Each structure stands twice: as structure tokens, then as C-alpha cells.
Structure 1
Amino acid sequence: MTVKRRPTGTHHGDLRNALEQAALALVQERGPHGFTLAEACRRAGVSVSAPYKHFADRDALLASLALKGYQEQQRRFRAALSTSTDPAEQLAAFAAAYVRFAAEERALFDITFLAGLDTTRHPELAAAGTALHDDLMPVTSRITTTPDEAFDLLVQVAAAAHGLALFQQQAMLPSPWNNPQSVAEQAARAARALADQHARP
């Protein structure tokens, strides 16, 4: 997602988008907890009363961005799943796409997973997460024998990809391997290994 900076005081034809872009830029700089709604207004070049036409508070603004994060993940993950008909390779492609999303859309990744948003207040986020689950369960179900095993495999592959994405972001891997391409390959290998462990006899 491209973040466009707009000079302070410029009129906005799309206030909602301007506030989202300002918040995204602030998250890139400071993390999802490092700014106020008033700062987002200043960055967007609008009055501090402006956001209430669209967002009740800062969490509502972040929730809107989190939803965009889920939608971008779904787009990427569906594209990854379409690259193969073999379920183990589909999981490998999903894990690699997960790592690439974290590296290429760091602010959206941080908002989606680290902002601590209350899904009871923002049920659209829970629904978006369920949609990702619904895309992936048919894949893991082709490898395993029961729904519980399919869910376990999905959780393990996603957890491996998530952990590796965080390792790469925090430079916790040795330098030759601490880059998005290498970590994506590691995530794909982990997914294949997990699929092999869960494969039907």
C-alpha cells in the first residue's frame, strides 16, 4: 500500500482515505500504539474534529486499516494457493506469501496483529479472520483425516510463518538468512515439513 503525504492545510476530497494514509504513515514510523488521533489529523492536514465524521476514535481508524490488512492478506493468499493443485505446495506458497506480506506491508501487518483491537467492538475483523480460515481449511483437509487435524495443521503452518516473519523483522536470524526472500523460503520448507508430518497414512 502506497502512503502519500499531503501538505498540511490541503483540502481533502476524500477525508477518510486521507486519515487512513496519515495513520498508516505514523504506524510505519512509531508502531500502532505510538500516535494519537489528533496527530493523524495534523499529518492529514485537517482539523482535530474532522475524523469524527468517519471514526469514533483512534481504534476505529486502526480497525479500518486492519480490515484492509486482512483483505490484502486474503488477496495474496488466494493468489498463492492458485499456484499449485498439490495441498502441501499450496501451504508452502501460503507460508511464503505470509512472510512477504509482513515484510512488504509492515504497517498493515503491525496494525492487524499488534494493535490489540477488540473484535467485539469491531466484528468485521473477526469475520475477515474467519474468511482466511475458510480459504485454508479445505487445503489442510486434503492432507489430514479429521477436521481437528486439519485445523491443527493450519495453526502450525500459520504460527511457523508468523514466527519467522517476526524473527526477520526483529533481525533475530543470522545475517545471511535474515532477509525476506530467505525467510519466505524457510517458511515454505517448514510448511512442507508440517504437511508431511500430518499426511494421511
Structure 2
Amino acid sequence: MSKQGYHHGDLRRALVEAALHLIEEKGPTGFTLSEAAKTAGVTPAAVYRHFAGREDLIAECARQGFVIFGDVLEHAWDGGQPSALSAFSAVGRAYLAFAKRYPGHYMAMFESGLSPQNSPALGQVALKARNVMDQATEALLAHIPPDRRPPLAMVSAHIAALSHGVIELHARPPAGTRSPYSPEDLLESGVGIYLRGLGILPPDQ
């Protein structure tokens, strides 16, 4: 990429795109700021016009990812239509689809060591996705009497953990390995077993 002709916003965008490419290739901790600058076609000094360092650059990748992630989950949830269960399943499929389509963003968000809880900027944009998961979980729990209803935050966290586990183990397997089941089928069956175990779904559903 040429070092000439960058506008202010173009350079920042080029650096983010370079970082996303390197994250996909080497992981969020596997590249240097100099490599990101070289990939973007600029000098390392140019990076500091926009980012305080490598972690700041990765944080921007994560921030953009959470914005997209929240929109994807919200679109999948669609207000719980046509039913809470079908919409919840759509959210699970959207979780996997996001990780496949935006692997660099996903790794920056969840594998870089950056925590939305410790970063106001990340926490703010991550809130939308968390709210969608909470809404979807609350709708599934609505028919259970309050005194028998499991904690919403716990169920939502367990579903997120299942989703991340399927992504890590089966949606991005090492070269030469292959699961006999699709990630979508694995997630759907795993969530179904979990929800039936809690009494959220009847045995025959």
C-alpha cells in the first residue's frame, strides 16, 4: 500500500484494517505495531498520530467489532418474532455467523485480554449485545414461575459460554481437522440440552 495520499481518516482506517488482517493471521498478541504499520504502508511513527500503542489499536478493532456484533444480534432477535424460542435460536446462529464473517474483530473482542468491564469505551458498545442476550433469555424464562426461575444473568452467561466454546473448538478448527457435526447443529443441540435441564423447554421440544 502506498505511503502517499492518505487523508486523516483514511490512515486510521488503513491501520485498523491492517491490524485485523494480522490478528486473523497471527492472533491478537502475535504481531507488533511495526508490522501493522508496514502492512498499512506507513512508518511506525505514523501510527502514533492515531493510536497510543498496539493495545490501543487492538481496542479500536474490538470496539468496532462490538458495534457490528450488537447490530447483528439485534437484527437476529427482531423483538422475539415470530416466537421467543425461534428468535433465540436465530440469535445463536447469528453469534456463529459473526465469528465466521468477522474473525479479526471477534478475536480482538474476546481473545486479546481486553475486557469491556475494565474499559468504558468497550463497555459502552458491548452493552447492546449483552442487552439483546438478556432480552432473549428473559423471554425464554417468562413462562417459569418466579420462585423456580433460574437467574437471568446466569443463564445468559452460560449460553454465551456455550457459543464461545463451539466457536473456539469447532467453528475455527486447526487445518486438517473436521467435526462430524456443523457448529450450528452443535450449538443448537447443546443449548437445547441445557434449557431442558433447567426446565425451560419441555422434553419433547
- Measured after TM superposition, the shift of residue 120 of structure 1 is 6.7
RMSD: 2.5
Separation of aligned partners in 1, 2:81 and 2:191:
14
Can you give the 5+ residue segments of structure 2 that lack an aligned partner in the other structure? Answer: none
Q: Secondary structure at the match of 1:38?
A: helix
Q: 1:86 to 1:19 in 2, by over 3 A?
A: same
Tell me the distance in 2 between the aligned counterparts of 1:157 and 1:120: 19
The answer on whether the counterparts of 2:73 and 2:94 sit within 8 Å (CA) in structure 1 is yes
Per the TM alignment, residue 9 of structure 1 is displaced from its structure 2 partner at its CA by: 2.6
Q: Deviations 1:133-190 (Å, cap 9, x if unpaired)?
A: 212212212232558622122111111111011111135975432xxxx212321233
Query: In structure 2, how many angstroms separate the alpha carbons of the residues matched to 1:86 and 1:193?
Result: 19
**Among 129, 136, 141, the residue aligned to 1:139:** 136
Cα pair distance change 1:136/1:36, threshold 3 Å: same
| TM-superposed deviation, 1:11 | 2.5
Unaligned residue ranges in structure 1 (runs of 5+):
1-6
Measured in 2, the distance between the counterparts of 1:53 and 1:154 equals 40
The structure showing larger relative contact order (alpha-carbon pairs under 8 Å, at least 6 residues apart) is: 1
1:72 Cα offset (Å): 1.4
Q: Once the 2 structures are TM-superposed, how far is the Cα of residue 116 of structure 1 from its aligned partner?
A: 0.9
Paired position in structure 1 for 2:88: 91
Question: 3-state DSSP class of the match of 1:35?
Answer: coil
Amino acid at match of 2:187: A
- Residue aligning to 2:168: 166
Quick check: 1:28 aligned with 2:24? yes
Deviation at 1:90, TM superposition (A): 2.1
Given that 2:71 and 2:129 are in contact with CA atoms closer than 8 Å, whether structure 1 keeps it comes out as no
Match of 1:105 in 2: 102
Q: Which residue of 2 aligns with 1:57?
A: 53
Query: Structure 1 pair 186/65, CA: closer, same or farther in 2 (3 Å)?
Result: same
Cα distance change, pair 191–140 in 1 and its aligned pair in 2 (3 A): same
- Tell me how far 1:88 sits from its aligned partner: 2.2
In structure 2, how many angstroms separate the alpha carbons of the residues matched to 1:175 and 1:192? 19
Cα separation, partners in 2 of 1:28 and 1:10, compared to 1, 3 Å = farther
Match of 1:19 in 2: 15
* Residues 1:173 and 1:148: Cα distance change in structure 2 (over 3 Å): farther
Rounded to whole Å, the distance in 2 between the matches of 1:143 and 1:103 is 26
8 A contact 2:67–2:126 mirrored in 1: no
Give the length in aligned residue pairs.
Answer: 191
Task: Please state whether the residue corresponding to 2:48 is helix, strand or coil.
Answer: helix
Deviation at 1:71, TM superposition (A): 1.2
The equivalent residue for 2:200 is: 199
Residue 177 of structure 2 is aligned to residue 176 of structure 1? no
Partner of 1:3: none
Q: What is the TM-score normalised by the length of structure 1?
A: 0.83
1:117 to 102, 114, 117: 114
CA shift for structure 1 position 19: 0.6
